[in-house]
Chains A and B, each alone.
Chain A
Amino acid sequence: MTAERLAVWCVSDLEQVARVAARIREFCTRPPLTDRDLMGIELCVVEALNNAIEHACGGMPANHGIRVDATWEAPELQLEISDPGRAMPPGVLEAAARRALEPDTDDPGALPERGRGLAIMQHLMDRVSYRSDRDRNTLVLVRRYHESSTPPEPR
């Protein structure tokens, strides 16, 4: 099976996020992916770009380029979101993986207001990894889609 690829660039500006996410969603619109799958992919791209723009590139000139690479090699989708900003501190990804998306309904006042993005991506994807070298940081999201697959249930 030949891999199909799409690369989309944007500057570090939250106003760019919807456009990039729409391009990736359009690329992923193919069997066997369902509307629910596509919603999950769009959400993951948006969350990854938000993090890159706000946390990695926050405070830097907006012309810093952020790149999203999508690779479809049936039945696997790989998304790579890379930025030239500050690296994510060690342990953040692992901590998000341990964080259950289970709110304390007895005390709404204690609900966290931020910090759900990485946990959401980890719930929607099969694998989430992160690497950082001298020039760029790259978040890698991988998910396999089968005809009979159903979206993972929240953990």
Chain B
Amino acid sequence: MRTQNEVRGDLAIVTVSEPRLDGSRGGELKHCVVEVIGKGHRWILVDLSAVGFIDSTGLSAIVSSLKLLGKHGDLTLCGLTPAVQNLFELTRMTKVFRIFTTRSDAVAALSTRAHAASQ
């Protein structure tokens, strides 16, 4: 899976560069997040703005990643395209995840929060 990882202070940003997050790719996203957590990051933003399609397997990978962090961090999302937004609304995952429209909005809000929480 094509992803790009970036660190801004205490916030790790995982940008998914795949057009589809489905049964053939979902597990790879979880693996990528596991690696980020393994490096000590607990505040993770996943940028999905390049993902034009997601199925329940892709959603499962995101849910599983959130559960890995437990109560010691958070996994936040940004850039949901219409098909991704539809699945999150259908499964009511919009109630579970904090979702920002743009990456810049998310970074502005989360950088402060992640830094405060890590103190």
Contact = CB atoms under 8 A, between A and B. Distances in A.
A103 B82 CA distance: 21
B56 A17 contact: no
B94 to A, nearest CB: 10
Interface in B50-68: 53, 55-57, 59-60, 63-64, 66-67
Contact of A43 (B60, B87, B92, B96): B87
A35 B82 contact: yes
B108 interface: no
A101 interface: yes
A42 B91 CA distance: 16
A114 interface: yes
B112 to A, nearest CB: 22
Which of A14, A36, A112, A116 has most chain B Cβ within 10 Å?
A116
What class of interface size applies to chain A in its complex with B?
A: 20 to 34
Contact of B22 (A39, A46, A116): A46
A113 B67 CA distance: 9
B95 interface: yes
Nearest to A43: B55
B86 A108 contact: no
Contact of A113 (B53, B64, B82, B83): B64
B22 A108 contact: no
Interface string A27-55: 00000000110011011001100100110
21 contacts: A14-B23, A18-B24, A18-B53, A39-B82, A39-B86, A43-B53, A43-B86, A46-B23, A46-B55, A47-B56, A50-B22, A50-B23, A54-B23, A101-B91, A105-B96, A108-B67, A109-B67, A113-B63, A114-B60, A154-B90, A154-B92
Interface of B: 20, 22-24, 53, 55-57, 59-60, 63-64, 66-67, 70, 82-83, 86-87, 89-93, 95-96
Interface of A: 14-15, 17-18, 35-36, 39-40, 42-43, 46-47, 50, 53-54, 101-103, 105, 108-109, 111-114, 116-117, 120, 123-124, 154
